[in-house]
Amino acid sequence: MAVRNVNYKIAHGCYVYLPDREECIDTATQIKHVKLERDEITDLWEVSEKSLGWIPELPEEERVQLRPEWNRVGRLPVWGYEDVRLFTHEQRVYFTATCLHIEGHMGTPRIVLGRLTEDFSGIEGEKAVPLRVWKKKQDGTEEEIFGWYGNGCEKNWLPFSQNNTIRAVYSWEPLRLITVEDPTTGRCVIDETAESHAELDCGAWRGSTCPVWLKPDQETPSFGDVKPSVAFEPKSARMRRGRWGCMVHEVNNVSGKDVAREYYQRWVEFVIHSTGKMELVYVSELFVLTETTIEFPLSCIPTPNGWFISFGYKDGRARWCLTK
């Protein structure tokens, strides 16, 4: 399990502030082992004293400056990997994260890819590599694209391993996948053939958990006491074979409330055809794990006793739940 530690606090749902003595927004992610017995965490311990993305006493001139529109607390330097998502590929543990301390960051968050050492004590090669996405133009040449938010920000890609290849859900509207051609250089290509589902308002979806391969007889998870109703019917029962499942979240920005952001979840299933095309086959209605606060799931894993979900709660605590 990846547990993120930060030196800032959240107020009123979205406002970030630092203690007066701090001069840098700092984030460090520790890799921990979890022992789960009888639906309870019986032990939680660090793999090592090292932290992922933590650099001691970083010189001020090397600290990265946020672009003004991305800085909520003034012009402060930022360091560390955020939104770390762990996944397995070729029997090794990889991760993606959003960060700024990479070459060519342009002052906005970028996605990086890294592989943990076999003892989980750090990153092989000491640092992750930026993922650079290329798409083919009509004239046969390629161009690099930066951030589907339209402002250069790269967040909430959902990585997974398929047929010995690292892929990631890049956007939900339109549905687009990227393929990592070379994990050592970070070169990626994007599939531009996906369909649009305007009736589902997929453009509001973000994150959340890495896609999990679902067996043909594996049922859709239940959340709470009632399984979410189907918001989008699959075209046929056959389409549910060989499918992938993950959680996404939608954010409702509410003014005039103590909590300015409300997070809602959906369970989504999709298939990848032999052509590489991605197609939605199931979308649940909206639901919450605890309450309409900042709930940010980053892991949803099937276990013999149910689905183990870990999520951030109010941007300040780590929680988990087990759903049948």
Low-confidence ranges of the chain (pLDDT < 70): 10-17, 19-24, 38-39, 41, 46-51, 53-78, 101-107, 147-152, 192-196, 198, 223-241, 253-260
Contact 167, 175 (CB under 8 A): no
What pLDDT is attached to residue 245?
Answer: 92
Contacts of residue 138, defined as CB under 8 A and 6 or more positions apart, other chains included, come to none
- What pLDDT, in 10s, does the model give residues 166-191? 999 998 888 888 999 999 989 999 87
Contacts of residue 92, defined as CB under 8 A and 6 or more positions apart, other chains included, come to 115, 116, 118
What pLDDT is attached to residue 89?
Answer: 95
Domain boundaries, the chain: 203-324
What pLDDT is attached to residue 73?
Answer: 47
Q: Which two tokens stand for residue 5?
A: 């530690």
- pTM to 2 decimal places: 0.85
